[in-house]
Amino acid sequence: MTARKITYRDAVREAMREALLADHRVFLMGEDVGRYGGAYACSKGFLEEFGEARIRDTPLSESGFVGAGIGAALGGMRPIIEIMTVNFSLLALDQIVNTAATLRHMSGGQFSVPVVIRMATGAGRQLAAQHSHSLECWYAHVPGIKVIAPATVGDARGMLKTALADPNPVIIFEHATLYNETGELAEMDDYAVDIDRARVRRTGSDISLITYGGSLSKTLAAAELLERDGIGCEVVDLRTLRPLDDAVLVQSVRKTHKAIVVDEGWRSGSLAAEVSARMAEQAFFDLDGPIARVCSAEVPVPYARHLEQAATPQVENIVAAAQKVMRR
Amino acid sequence: MPSLGADMDAGTLVEWLKSPGDKVRRGDIIAVVETQKGAIEIEVFDDGVLSEIRVKPGDEVPVGQVLALIDGADEDSEPPPAETATKAAGLPSRPMDQEPLRTVSQPTADGPKISPAARRLAQSCGLDPGSITPGKDGVIGLREVEAAAHHADTTQPAGIDQRAMRNAIASAMARSNREIPHYYVTSTLDVTPMMEWLGAYNARQPIERRLLYLVPLLRAAALSLRKFDDLNGAFVDGRYQTTANVNIGVAIAMRKGGLITPAILDTASHDLQSLMSKLSDLVRRTRQGGLKSSELSMGTVTLTNLGEQTADALLPIIYPPQVFIIGCGQIQVRPWVIDDAVVPRQLMDVTVAGDHRVSDGRRGAQFLRNFGDLLARPEEL
Amino acid sequence: MTEPEIENLVRRELYAVAPDLEGLEIEPNETFRDQFEIDSMDTLNFIIGLSKATGLDIPEADYPQLETFSGCKSYISKRLRAPG
Amino acid sequence: MSNSSRVHLDRNHALELLGQMILIRRFEEKCAELYSAQKIRGFLHLYIGEEANAVGVMQALTADDAVVATYREHGHALVRGLPPGEILAEMFGKSDGSSRGRGGSMHIFDAAHRFYGGNAIVGGGLPLAVGLALADKMQGRQRVTCCFFGEGAAAEGEFHESMNLAALWDLPVMFVCENNGYAMGTALERSESETSIARHAESYRIESEAVDGMDVVAVEAAARRAADAVRAGAGPRFLEARTYRFRAHSMFDPDLYREKSEIEAWKTKGPVVTFSQWLLDNQLVRPDDIAALERYADDVVARAVAFAEASSWEPVEDLERDVLAPVGWEVSQ
């Protein structure tokens, strides 16, 4: 099996291009996805290749075009909706939460909304408090939608196809710092990967580090450092934020008896809180110490670089937390 | 009193717009009712004559109570009787979410903290958390329990807490039944050669050196198990790990009920006499207190022997994290066929249970055959 | 040895292997096994005790005669009276 | 303009229009009664007074067209052809309800009739309708998506976003604003600087028409003009039907925000009473025709009640069904 180096951005672009080529029902809609090429250049060249009907630049009407995407999905299309950042998605929250997530249940199973909504999330580029938040947790709270967070080029390349084949609304969170990251992508005939399981990215026996999305690479780097101290870390990538794959989490903590959850969301009411609660519910008697969390500080993400860094989880925070848990 | 909203449970009659004897028509407003949201007009859904008013202005009445009677109205369309207000009781209701998680209370408010995993390990080793030295931070974790369990000099305090023992058995056996998919294999073994050899052996020995028949059983089991990696070990964290030594735990019954299964470490390394003295010592210390923690925690397989004048056979339950257990019924003289002749022989039913996650019934059968072969040549034990 | 001495001896050896029985009434004709859940190891230790205290060599074949209190008494007195 | 744009008001069609309005009226009066008797719970929003709109507009739609409605949608569902028993069973919360008891009065759905429900977020249905129309346009289908909403929706951002998208992309959607003058208890004059909703739409370059929403024939004629244009590929059309609800906003509404005299004045213009009178005056129908329509409606309603009563409760074990579709589930078209 050969592998090639690819950026996360190109993995996303390849995945979308493949989907557009494979299925005439697929189209891309969002602010500046066409002539501009996408705010993160994920759809560069698409307008020329696929035309205006399928690469639709929208007005700045998040609720309108997300709702239109939901309607188009109901009408037999397979839309990919791009929202520039999770902060802007709040303007479309009504359509996602009140319509996309409820339609199936509210109609007694008559309808389903096969829409894919992609959005950038997270801090790290000094974009301050209206472009940097991690609000995945809010969406992961809502039944009726699936929420995924590809953290690797393999998942960025492979999760979209599975999401488009899913009859339910799927929200894809792409951490904005990942687009320029490069990773090894194994050559395959079919890149599709599951969107319902967590994955162990590194095995270890002393402590479980549970994370997702933009925090995965930081967590792996921390695990590397901790290994030098003789602390064997098992790194679990959640991948799917709703529904959560409890089995993998619990299996890991049953082995290591200790756990830290790394989550760029704010600590209060976070995904980290949910993951911690599930471990406490399902593996309490396997725990050999309190579960720890490394989350963002309870502050709107600030602009200045040193403040932004201090507000969000960093490698050294994860290392320090692990050392503390191991010392107990 | 009609229901005008799901959040309305009562209303106060403000005024009657019709009097008894008045004709009313469907859609007429006959009364005004004050609610939390303000005054609302009450309409009728039938034609007829207002025959009786039952509620006077100023009265607050619950939803469902009759305000007035209209003659000529279809009975079905009368306001529902008061009990329909509670008709929700007839609706299927959602079961309570989940049982609250059972929590383990600390031994004492001021005592050392113990982690859940450590508490469980201590319990399965028969260790009293109060006897374990906490770490520097004052917490007993897995590390401290393991250290205590492996500390050869750590002995159980004399006297057995009957309830604690029952709890430990309950938790270990419940876990076993819950987690371990057991298979069972039974064979009837002709132990006449062993019993005859033992009788002759014991006749030559002074009384203190005589052996119980449990001893050759233990020796044969230990020698046999050395060949069965997949029956001797521990299943931990979803994975099976075999152990180099065979440490057979012997089920020793307590006179007031319950049992403890201390292990004879490296059972196969002991000859019959040495095993006998180990066993004798183990039984004494089990009964009187004074077992080493290692003897309690390091068993890799268990043998349970019903003994004389008890019952023919038992289906043993594996003692987790072990994956195999041998259960011996009483030895009895029963008819047996040898060379087409029915002859009286001393027979013993042996049932083994194995953990199906690790091995299959075929392995249990192979063990029984091997075990029987060794017992058939007792002089070689 | 007088009969009361033999009785005391049997009690003492029984309590030696099972101290928790001390003070309990002993039914003379019921087996120790049935009364007190005495198992084969206890029985063996009990017989070893009897043997040491009386100096008698007790062959395994005689063990069944020592299963009850009265059995013990008659066996010991018979053996002690017997020549050799 | 095609031939279908003209209303052929012969005796049969007149009876059909009147019959549908009477059915809605009788059905909803029964709903009010059943609500008082606690058979129907939650919110119940009645359409009484506004019947001419649903009845008139639906005449212009075919079975292939899509309907997106609001939480005041019993009338639309009935005229669209949903089985009355299933609508009522839904309000009872029964398993034979249109939405298996998951939606209630505000959320009637029916895939077979392309009835996209009962949306209870004011303005929430508009982007959905735009999307359905977008799908039709992209797939080259000649269908109309008809979106009903009240004048209260015009204050929502989603209204404006949807007008803009529909006009910008030339989508085959027919917007029908049923302007009954009150957003719950707030009068239009107290919430909009421009009280002509049609003019809002016009500002997005959508051809718009205001029509007397109490006149079923006028509504049908306007709807046919709009639907035919949409079907012909002329882009979106907007209809503002000026109407009035005779009942309070919902059952638990003391109706403190409007004068009794105002209600009474509108009642004289009621769609059923005026159309009946007009037909009688023009000798298109006889009084016994109307009586027969009423008997028929009562019979339909009685059978719907019996059906809803007889239906069973959804088992609680099925509580969590239909939250997510199983992978491989295909949307029925």
Percent of chain A predicted with pLDDT > 70: 100
HSE of D63, CA atoms in CB hemisphere, 13 A: 5
Instruction: Kindly list the structural domains of chain C, giving each domain's residue range(s) and its CATH number in brackets, ordered by start.
Output: 3-81 (1.10.1200.10)
Q: Which residues contact A184 (CB under 8 A, 6 or more apart)?
A: A3, A4, A5, A153
Strands A170-175 and A116-121: parallel
Tokens of D57: 């507009």
* pLDDT of A316 over the 80 cut: yes
| Residue pairs spanning A and D at CB distance below 8 A | 166
Q: How many domains does chain B have?
A: 2
CB contact under 8 A, C41 and B280: yes
Distance (Å, whole) CA C3 – CA C1: 7
Contacts B123 to A, Cβ<8 Å: none
pLDDT at B5: 67
Which is nearest to B322 in space by CA: B364, B278, B359, B354?
B354
Position C44 scores a pLDDT of: 87
Q: Which of B90, B113, B131 delimits the end of a domain?
A: B90
Q: Is D147 part of any domain?
A: yes
Angle (CA) A22-A24-A26 rounded to 5° is 85
Nearest to B6 among D42, D255, D315 (CB): D42
Among B55-64, B289-298, C75-84, whose mean pLDDT is lowest?
B289-298
Alpha carbon A119 to chain centroid distance? 9
Quick: pLDDT tens for A189-205: 999 999 999 999 999 99
Residue A306 annotated among the catalytic residues of the structure: no
CB B82 within 8 A of CB B65: yes
Task: Answer for the pair A110, D99: CB distance below 8 angstroms, yes or no.
Answer: yes
Among partner residues A285, A327, A328, which is closest to B117 by beta-carbon distance? A285
Tell me whether A242 touches chain D (CB under 8 Å): no
The packing angle between helices D125-138 and D157-168, to 10°, is 10
Of B65-79, B96-110, B329-343, D127-141, give the lowest mean pLDDT range: B96-110
Q: Look up the CATH number of the domain holding residue D263.
A: 3.40.50.970
Please answer yes or no on whether D103 and A165 come within 8 Å at the CB atom.
Answer: no
Half-sphere exposure of D333 (CA within 13 A, CB side): 11
Of the partner residues D135, D324, D330, the one whose CB lies closest to the CB of residue A71: D135
Between residues C38 and A316, which one has the greater pLDDT?
A316
For the record, the structure tokens of B110 come out as: 């001021």
Q: At what angle do helices D11-36 and D287-310 cross, to 10 degrees?
A: 40
Which one of C19, C39, C45 has the shortest CB-CB distance to B253? C39
Q: What is the pLDDT of residue B272?
A: 93
Cβ–Cβ under 8 Å, residues D182 and D255 = no
Whole-number pLDDT of residue A279:
96
Q: How far is B171 from chain C (nearest CA, A)?
A: 25
Residue of A56, A95, A111, A142 best to disrupt the D interface, most CBs of D under 10 A: A111
Classify residue B147: in a domain, yes or no. Answer: no
B228 and B345 in a single domain? The answer is: yes
Which residue in D36, D256, D315 is closest to B3 by CB distance? D36
Predicted confidence (pLDDT) per residue in A255-292, tens digit: 999 999 999 999 999 999 999 999 999 999 899 999 99
Per the residue annotation, which of A131, A175, A181, A308 is the catalytic one?
A: A131
Spatial separation of the C-alpha atoms in residues B85 and B67, rounded to whole Å: 15
Q: Give residues with Cβ within 8 angstroms of B39, minimum separation 6.
A: B14, B32, B33, D254
Cα D172 to Cα D176: distance, rounded to the nearest angstrom: 13
Tell me if B330 sits within 8 A of B312, measured CB to CB: yes
**Per-domain residue ranges of chain A:** 3-186, 199-327
pLDDT of residue B78: 45
Residues 30-89 of B with CB under 8 A from D: 35, 37-40, 43, 45, 63-64, 77, 79-80, 84-85, 87
B307 contacts on C by Cβ (under 8 Å) = 39-40
Note the pLDDT of residue C4.
87
pLDDT of res. C83 = 66
A94 in helix, strand or coil? helix
Q: Which of B372, B360, B378, B367 is nearest to B301 (CA)?
A: B367
Neighboring chain A residues of B235 at a CB cutoff of 8 Å: none
Q: Which residues of D touch B32 (CB under 8 A)?
A: none
| DSSP per-residue codes, A258-270 | -EEEEEEEESTT-
Rounded Cα distance, B50 and A143, in Å: 52
B: neighbours with 3+ CB pairs under 8 Å? A, C, D
User: Does any domain span residue D296?
Assistant: yes
pLDDT of A33 higher than 60: yes
A window 66-105, beta carbon within 8 A of B: none
Domain A199-327, CATH class in plain words: alpha beta
Of B255, B287, B288, the CB nearest to C36: B255
What is the CATH classification number for the domain harbouring B79? 2.40.50.100
Domain boundary among B55, B90, B125: B90
Query: How far apart (Å, rounded) are the C-alpha atoms in residues D172 and D234?
Result: 8
Q: Which of A14, A31, A62, A264 is catalytic?
A: A62
Give contacts of A280 with chain B, Cβ < 8 Å: 101
Domain assignment present for D240:
yes
pLDDT band (50, 70, 90) for residue B160: low
Half-sphere exposure of A191 (CA within 13 A, CB side): 23
Residue D329 domain-assigned?
no
Asked whether residue D326 is assigned to any structural domain, the reply reads no
Burial category of D294 from C-beta neighbours within 10 Å (exposed 0-12, middle 13-18, buried 19 and up): middle
Q: What is the pLDDT of residue D82?
A: 97
Using the Cβ of A278 and the Cβ atoms of chain B, whether some distance falls under 8 Å is answered with no
3-state SS class at D49: coil
Mutate one of C17, C31, C39, C43 to test the B interface: name it (highest B CB count within 10 A).
C39
Chains B and A touch (3+ CB pairs under 8 A): yes
Could C19 and B309 be called an inter-chain contact, meaning their C-beta atoms sit closer than 8 Å? no
Instruction: Say what the alpha-carbon torsion angle A119, A125, A129, A130 is, to the nearest 10 degrees.
Output: -40
Provide the residue-wise pLDDT of chain D in tens; the chain has 333 residues.
334 567 788 999 999 999 999 999 999 999 999 999 999 999 999 999 999 999 999 999 999 999 999 999 999 999 999 999 999 999 999 999 999 999 999 999 999 999 998 999 999 999 999 999 999 999 999 999 999 999 999 999 999 999 999 999 999 999 999 999 999 999 999 999 999 999 999 999 999 999 999 999 999 999 999 999 999 999 999 999 999 999 988 888 888 899 999 999 999 999 999 999 999 999 999 999 999 999 999 999 999 999 999 999 999 999 999 999 998 887 544
pLDDT of residue D171: 98
Question: pTM of this prediction?
Answer: 0.68
In this prediction, residue A306 carries a pLDDT of 92
Instruction: Report angle CA D140, D146, D149 to the nearest 5 degrees.
Output: 145
Q: CA B29 to CA D129: how far, in whole Å? A: 40
Residues D97, A63: C-beta atoms closer than 8 Å: no
Is residue D97 less than 8 Å (CB to CB) from chain A?
A: yes
Cα–Cα distance measured from residue B68 to residue B46, given in angstroms and rounded to the nearest whole number: 13
* Parent domain of B60: 10-90
Tokens of C81: 């009276």
Query: Do residues A75 and D135 lie in contact, with contact meaning Cβ atoms separated by under 8 Å?
Result: yes
If contacts are CB pairs under 8 Å, which of residues 72-101 in chain A contact chain D? 72-77, 79, 94-95, 98-99
The Cα D97–Cα D90 span in angstroms is 4
Encoded tokens for B85: 């207000």
CA pair distance B24, B43, nearest whole angstrom: 10
- For residue A184, the model assigns a pLDDT of 95
Query: At a CB cut-off of 8 Å and minimum separation 6, what does A272 contact?
Result: A261, A262, A263, A265, A293, A294, A295
Q: Which residues of A touch B134 (CB under 8 A)?
A: none
Please provide the average confidence, as pLDDT, over all residues in chain B: 81
Q: Nearest chain D residue to B85 by CA: give it.
A: D38
Mutation site, B142, B171, B175, B240, interface A, largest A CB count within 10 A: B142
Query: By the CB < 8 Å criterion, does A27 face chain D?
Result: yes
List of residues 6+ apart from B274 with CB closer than 8 A = none
User: Does B113 reside within a domain?
Assistant: no
The residue among B50, B75, B90 that closes a domain is B90
Answer yes or no: A62 catalytic: yes
Mean pLDDT confidence for A301-319: 95
Q: How many CB pairs under 8 A join A and B?
A: 37
CA distance between the termini of chain D: 29
Closest CA to B35 of D250, D307, D219: D250
Nearest to D244 by CA among D221, D220, D215: D215
Give the number of domains in chain D. 1
Predicted local distance difference test score (pLDDT) of residue D257? 92
Report residue D268: phi and psi, to 5°: -70, -20
CA distances for B270 relative to B163, B274, B275, angstroms: 34, 5, 6
In sequence order, the 6+-apart residues with CB closer than 8 A to the CB of D88 are D27, D31, D34, D304, D305, D307, D308
Hey, which CATH number is domain A3-186, 3.40.50.970, 3.30.70.1520, 3.20.20.70, 3.40.1190.10?
3.40.50.970
Strand partners, B40: B33
pLDDT at B100 over 50: no
Q: Which helix (H) or strand (E) holds B61?
A: strand B60-62
Domain of D14?
3-309
C40/B308 touch (CB, cutoff 8 Å), yes or no:
yes
H or E element: which one contains D164?
helix D157-168
Choose among B117, B237, B238: nearest Cβ to A287.
Answer: B117
Taking residue A252's Cβ as centre, other Cβ atoms within 10 Å add up to 24
Q: Following DSSP, what letter does each residue of D84-129 receive, concatenated?
A: HHHHHHHHHT-TTSTTTTSS-TT---BTTTTEEEEE-STTTHHHHH
Q: Extract the runs of DSSP E, i.e. beta strands, from A122-205.
A: 146-148, 170-175, 182-186, 199-202
A170-175 and A207-211 beta bridge pairing: unpaired
What whole-number distance in Å separates Cα of residue A71 and Cα of residue A52? Answer: 19
Return the pLDDT at B201. Answer: 93
Residue D315 within a domain: no
Our measurement of the distance from residue A325's CA atom to the centroid of its chain's CA atoms, rounded to an integer in Å, reads 27
Q: Where are the alpha helices (DSSP H) in chain A?
A: 8-22, 46-50, 62-74, 86-89, 93, 103-106, 136-140, 153-165, 215-228, 246-256, 271-283, 305-311, 315-327
- Does B95 touch chain D if contact means CB atoms closer than 8 Å? yes
